[in-house]
Amino acid sequence: GAPNVSTALAAREQHGHDESMHACAPPDAVVWPQAVGQVQELAALCYRNRVPMVPFGTGTGLEGGVNAVQGGVCFDLSRMDAITELSLEDFSVVVEPGVTRKALNNYLRDTGLWFPVGTVGAGAAG
């Protein structure tokens, strides 16, 4: 329920486009999960009911990947923003999907490490 779910037009339109040239295609609802278990439950519910799922990070993509062209539910992952593990020995960090590059670099500031723009990898923060 509110404030973790919204069907308001403003929220849907905000989540129905990115920085690409594609026209807005809003989802039917936006949810803000805060834990992996919630994402799993939501995904299972959508799967059982054949409802499209659209993940949303910060909306800075350039490909139109957040456009819900068939409706569905947008999973806004911004509240899943914990940095859970850092290994200075092997230069790795484990983050939740809502961690932005700026937040990660603030966290890394005093370690001598940084996450540069353009780095691609599994779960790369945007």
Domains of the chain (ranges plus CATH)?
Answer: 2-76 (3.30.43.10), 81-117 (no CATH)
Please name the amino acid found at residue 33.
P
Cβ–Cβ < 8 Å for 37, 58? no
Mean local confidence (pLDDT), 77-87: 95
Q: Could you tell me how many helices (H) and strands (E) the chain has, helices first? A: 3, 6
Q: Which residue has the tokens 């989802």?
A: 27
Q: Which of 53, 65, 84, 74 is nearest to 126 (CA)?
A: 65
Instruction: Give the rounded percent of residues in the chain with a pLDDT score beyond 90.
Output: 79
Kind plus residue range of the DSSP H or E element containing 55: strand 53-56
Q: Distance (Å, rounded) from C-alpha 83 to C-alpha 108?
A: 10
| Residue 19 in tokens | 């920085």
The 10s digit of each residue's pLDDT in 41-77 is: 999 999 999 999 999 988 888 888 899 999 999 999 9
